[in-house]
Amino acid sequence: MRAGKSRNSRKKEYFTIMFVPGPNSRVRTLHISKSAIKSALLSFLGVVILSFYLVYEYNDVKDKVWELQTVREELMQQKAQVQNFALNLLDYKRQMFLLRDLDTKLRRAVSLGPRDKAQQVLGIGGPDELGLQNLTALGEKKQAEALKEMSEELTQLKGAASRQETSLQVLIEYFEDKRSLFASTPSIWPVRGWVTSRYGTRTSPFSGILKFHEGMDIAAQTGTPVVAAADGVVVKAGFGTGYGNMVEISHGYGIKTLYAHNSRLSVKSGQRIRRGDVIAYAGDSGSSTGPHLHYEVRLNGLPVNPAKYLN
């Protein structure tokens, strides 16, 4: 194959291409003008450039579609998180409502009185204030607006929770004080036996004259355990004139109990004891006509009837 140049009457330039199939075959020639080759080359170059541009645009669009899909997925996740947060906020508000209701009921039950007006205004509304309809509408709002709205709700809820905590702390202190008062109030029999002499005026078994009896005598066999009638601290454990072997316990709130005529003691001064702890054993020490326990209850230093404290 060879190529040559030729000219026509218009002096156009051509490229001649000769095809020689074989030694005995006819030679074939092809004449192509130079302008046609240029046009073909320009067309080919244009196609190549266009192809590169389309490939670039395709990759760019593909990246943007992927980014858009990623953003869409993130938005869906954020929407789910916002709705989940809204549901949790609703649940917290319901719990706050229940706590406030419980607080009010407890105060009424113990006649403690209502909270201060400033504390009563919790500003959280009822449990149905944020319903499912609001949650549906929440998904249609912009994420920033929804988060801002719930952030304000959360701030109000924190303030309400703080005020509720203060109110409940008052209730806790009240019940703790009541529990302490109950534990410190004599309420059980100090010894098993039967009453032989009650609180009040009686004829003295020793002098035969009327005399005020400041306690209660409970007959019991020698060695019968004597227990503390309430929680407290032993302020005296030893021998007392007329009382014999005695134990005196301070229970707080101005309440004291005294246990006399014991055969022996099992506690010492300064010891903290609980209701029901064994503190002594019945006997007839001191001024006594027989085995028994002399039991006194004193309130602010004055004797009171022990029978009022026995169940």
Task: Tell me: do 131 and 61 sit in the same domain.
Answer: no
Task: Tell me: do 257 and 227 sit in the same domain.
Answer: yes
The 10s digit of each residue's pLDDT in 52-86 is 777 777 777 777 777 777 777 777 777 777 777 77
Q: Other C-beta atoms within 10 Å of 163: how many?
A: 19
Domain count, the chain: 3
Q: What is the pTM of this model?
A: 0.54
The answer as to whether 302 is a domain residue is yes
Of 157, 184, 211, the residue that ends a domain is: 184
Task: Tell me: do 223 and 209 sit in the same domain.
Answer: yes
In this prediction, residues 188-200 reach a mean pLDDT of 94
What proportion of the chain, given as a percentage, has pLDDT over 90? 35
Task: Tell me: do 146 and 88 sit in the same domain.
Answer: yes
The answer as to whether 189 is a domain residue is no
Better-scored residue on pLDDT, 203 or 58: 203
pLDDT the model gives residue 159 = 77
Q: Taking the mean position of all CA atoms in its chain, how far away is CA 270? A: 40
Task: Tell me: do 207 and 177 sit in the same domain.
Answer: no
pLDDT exceeds 90 at position 42:
no
On average, the pLDDT of the chain sits at 79
Range of the domain at 297: 194-309
Task: Tell me: do 204 and 224 sit in the same domain.
Answer: yes
The amino acid at residue 114 is P
